[in-house]
Amino acid sequence: MHDITLLQLIEDDFAPAQQLLELLQTESIALHGRDMPLLEDILARKQSLVILLDQQGRRRSELLASLGLSQDRDGVVQLASHSQAGERLLQQLDALGKLLAECQALNARNGQLIQIQQGATANQLRILMGGESPSLYDSRGSTSPLAKPRALSQA
C-alpha cells in the first residue's frame, strides 16, 4: 500500500514540475527582453510551484522515514524491491528526477543571465553617475575625472 502511495506522490509532481519548466523557459525569454512585469508574474508563480514541489518532497521523505527507509533513491529502490509496482515506481522516480534536473539547469542559466544583466546595469549606472574611466568623453569633448559627479543630463 505504501508503494502505491509513494507512486501517487511522485506522479502528482509531474504537472507542477512541467509547469515550472515551462515558466523557466518563459522566464529566459522575458530576461532577454527585460520584460519586468512578466518577470514579476513569473516569480510569483515559480514560488508557488516550488513550495508545492517542496511539500510533496517532504511527504515522500516522511513516508520513506515512517517505513524505516532512507529518504533518497536507495530507500525507494528498497521499497520497490518488495512491490509489484516497483518497476513503475523507479521509472516514474527517474522521469521526475530528469524533469527536475532540467528545471535546475535552466534555472542556473537564468541566474547567470541575471548576473550578467546586473553587471551591465551597474556599469551603465557608474557611467551615468560619473564613475566612468577617463577615456570616456563628456558632452564638452573633454575627459571627465573619476570622482566628479555629474547631473544625469550631462552624461
Sign of the dihedral defined by the CA atoms of residues 76, 77, 83, 88, in that order: positive
Identify the H or E element spanning 78: helix 73-81
Give the integer Cα–Cα distance in Å for 80 and 73: 10
The half-sphere exposure of 112 on its side-chain side, counting CA atoms within 13 A, is: 5
pLDDT in tens, 89-115: 899 999 999 999 999 999 999 999 888
pLDDT in tens, 7-60: 899 999 999 999 999 999 999 999 888 888 898 999 999 999 999 999 999 999
Cβ contacts of 56 within 8 Å, gap of 6 or more: 9, 12, 13, 16
Burial 32-64 (b: 16+ CB within 10 A, else e): eeeeeeebeebeeebeebeebbeebeeebeebb
Give the integer Cα–Cα distance in Å for 92 and 8: 10
Query: What's the pTM?
Result: 0.74
Domains observed in the chain = 2-129 (1.20.58.300)
Cβ contacts of 84 within 8 Å, gap of 6 or more: 3
